[in-house]
Amino acid sequence: MVCSISDVESSTNINTNQSQLHEFKAVQCYDLQEKISDNKVIIDRPATILVFDIETTGFSHQNERIIEFALCDLIGGKNNTFQTLVNPEKDVPNTDVHGISSYMVNRPDVPRFKELAPILIQYVRSHQMAGKPVIWVSHNGRRFDVPFVIKEFQRCSEEVPADWLFVDTLPLARQLVKSDGRSGITSLTPANQIVLWNHKVLSVQLLSSITVSDFRQGSKLTSFSLKALREHYHIPLVGPAHRAMQNVTTLCYVLQRITCDLKVNVPELMSRAFRASDIL
């Protein structure tokens, strides 16, 4: 069933003791401007950043359909994740790829994309900062995820909101390979602090399965795939393989590691963004 705003569970609802949280306190690699107003610190973020992934019935965005959609708001907070199956109104021929069968999605209680679209837009708006764009981050998004999303909106006679921008992490992976493709832990303090790219919630979510030893020295990266990046950074697999939310979780960690390794800050990341109209 569709996850409405009130139904989406926050990834912060994890039973983690306070000593663990203190030990793994996140150090942010996110350019922020702090303003002092009435003795309060106001963090001025340049954009809302959402990491997302989809599963589909095939490779052609013209003929195939989205069957799963997942995202994570890197700012964290309440209801910072969103995921749902999507009714494609057609058979699913590639269950072996993602484990999603026709029976799982071709049901009256699973939303079609035209029913999901307004809920998704409402969810994003509830997380969007006034006057700031939304940056959607995906891996190989320019050739795969984004064209699928655009086509699904077109089928609903809707347009992708003009303030939605997209960033593909595939060029970052190519840049990492070009720079020899080796990396280690970006920052490791005596207090065992793991650097997270402004998404403390994920550090809480994965504490039960991730330790400092999991983030070993990266080997030479020889492929651009998300799987290769996960193995390169020794990021543990969390959740079912090849499902949308598992890919989102992996990409959140890859994003913080690769941007720190390449010294790419948020404004520079935004400069790499493209609009839906750029690939129509």
Is 125 a residue whose pLDDT tops 90? yes
Residue 54: its H or E element:
strand 48-56
- DSSP letters spanning 143-176: TTHHHHHHHHHHHTT----TTEEEEESHHHHHHH
Please, which residues have CB within 8 angstroms of residue 78's CB and are 6 or more apart in sequence?
10, 12
User: Which pLDDT value is given to residue 44?
Assistant: 75
- In this prediction, residues 62-74 reach a mean pLDDT of 97
- In this prediction, residues 92-115 reach a mean pLDDT of 97
Picking from 168, 85, 71, 44, the residue whose alpha carbon sits closest to that of residue 126 is 71
Active-site residue flag, 242: yes
Picking from 148, 144, 169, 143, the residue whose alpha carbon sits closest to that of residue 160 is 148
| DSSP 8-state assignment for residue 209 | T
The reported pTM is 0.77
Q: Are 88 and 106 in contact (CB under 8 A)?
A: yes
Looking at the chain, the whole-number percentage of residues with pLDDT higher than 70 is 70
How many angstroms separate the most distant Cα atoms in the chain? Answer: 59
> What are the distances in angstroms from CA 58 to CA 91, 172, 176?
11, 25, 29
Q: Are 226 and 254 in contact (CB under 8 A)?
A: yes
For the chain, the distance separating the N- and C-terminal CA atoms, rounded to the nearest angstrom, is 30
- What's the CA gap between 57 and 59, in Å, rounded? 7
> What are the distances in angstroms from CA 168 to CA 7, 10, 80?
29, 25, 21
Count of Cβ atoms closer than 10 Å to residue 167 Cβ: 23
Q: What is the pLDDT of residues 136-161, one digit of tens each?
A: 999 999 999 999 999 999 999 999 99
